[in-house]
Amino acid sequence: MIDIRDLKLQFDNVKVLDGVTMKIPNNMIYVIMGPSGSGKSTILRVLNRLVELYKPKIEGEVYLDGQDIFKMPLTLLRRRVQMVFQIPNPIPTLSIWENVALGPKLNGLAKSKAELKERVRWALAKAQLWDEVKNRLDAPAASLSGGQQQRLCIARALAFKPEVLLMDEPTANLDPVNTAKIEELMLELKKEMTIVLVTHYPPQAARVGDWVAFLYGGKIVEEGPVKEVFTRPRHELTEKYVTGKI
């Protein structure tokens, strides 16, 4: 379970998160929504501490299963919390196999060559890409289509067998067919891990989400079960967003 307490974050003097408190239980798809600039992607990047690349000022606490993530060794955190990005970003010059195998290999997650092979196969199968690539694992990742590349990135994340999967608008650049595939995947995966999904697209949240939190100006303005919030929004900002006015 992820426990965020009064998280405040600013870059230089711009406040991006202004006191966010969230509890994300296990094995569910937790959706974060809001207009551009509301801080949604930033929250995701706090959860795997990727945001530290950009040198922000952070106050507040974040716990993963009771452990303070800021005190945890970064390598451990990144093993448990993985991320899928908006633009598919495999390393194009490496092969399909290498893209998935690199994480476990570098982090010592597979004790033998056989174990590694099995882990890569498992991840690709789980990401529903195995059948399409099993005969060309050595092909460069750049040779895949957009939708395939995104599934490759999901496989890369899954190869860590993470507890939490952060997804930052993962289908924003994909066609409807691939989007449907990935949404189906999310519903499968939530049985084994917790998914935190940022999406710009209310219908997607309605299709896959269990719980939704609305972010506006760096604060949560409303949250609750997806069906409830979408059909009976309490906050006027939520209503405007859901109906497409902001």
Partner 1 sequence: MIKGLLASLSLVPLAIVALLITLFIAESWPAWEKYGLSLITTADWDPVRESYGILPAIVGTLVISALAVTIAAFLAISFVAVSYEFLPPRAAVVLGTTMDLVAAVPTVVFGLWGLFVLAPIMQAAQEILWRDLGWLSYNGVGPFAVEPRGGTTVLTAALLLAIMITPFAASVIREGYAAVPKEVVEAIHSITSRRWEIVRLKLAYIRQYVFSGLVLALGRAFGETVAVAMVVGGNFVNVIRALTEPGVNVSALIALQFPNAHAYVYMVPTLFAAALLLAVIGFAINATAVYFLLRR
Half-sphere exposure of residue 125, counting CA atoms within 13 Å on the CB side?
Answer: 6
Q: Which of 10, 27, 89, 128 binds partner 1 (CB under 8 A)?
A: 89
Asked if residue 82 binds partner 1 (CB under 8 A), the reply is: yes
Q: Put residue 70 in one of left, alpha, beta given phi > 0 → left and psi -120 to 50 → alpha.
A: alpha
Half-sphere exposure of residue 79, counting CA atoms within 13 Å on the CB side?
Answer: 12
Asked if residue 173 binds partner 1 (CB under 8 A), the reply is: no
Cβ within 8 Å of residue 179, ≥6 positions away = 171, 204
Give CA–CA dist 165/27, Å, rounded.
10
Asked if residue 56 binds partner 1 (CB under 8 A), the reply is: no
Tokens of 13: 């003097």
Q: Which of 83, 129, 155, 197 binds partner 1 (CB under 8 A)?
A: 83
Tell me the residue ranges of DSSP E strands in 12-87.
14-24, 29-33, 57-64, 67-68, 81-84
Least Å distance, CB 75 to partner 1, is: 6
Least Å distance, CB 142 to partner 1, is: 8
Q: Which of 69, 123, 153, 185 binds partner 1 (CB under 8 A)?
A: 153
Least Å distance, CB 32 to partner 1, is: 18
Tokens of 166: 């952060």
Least Å distance, CB 233 to partner 1, is: 32
Least Å distance, CB 50 to partner 1, is: 6
Asked if residue 157 binds partner 1 (CB under 8 A), the reply is: yes
Instruction: Count residues near partner 1 (CB under 8 A).
Output: 24
| SS3 (DSSP) at 12 | coil
Tokens of 167: 């997804």
Asked if residue 152 binds partner 1 (CB under 8 A), the reply is: no
Question: Where does this chain bind partner 1 (CB under 8 A)?
Answer: 48, 50, 53, 74-75, 78, 82-83, 85-87, 89-94, 102-103, 106-107, 153, 156-157
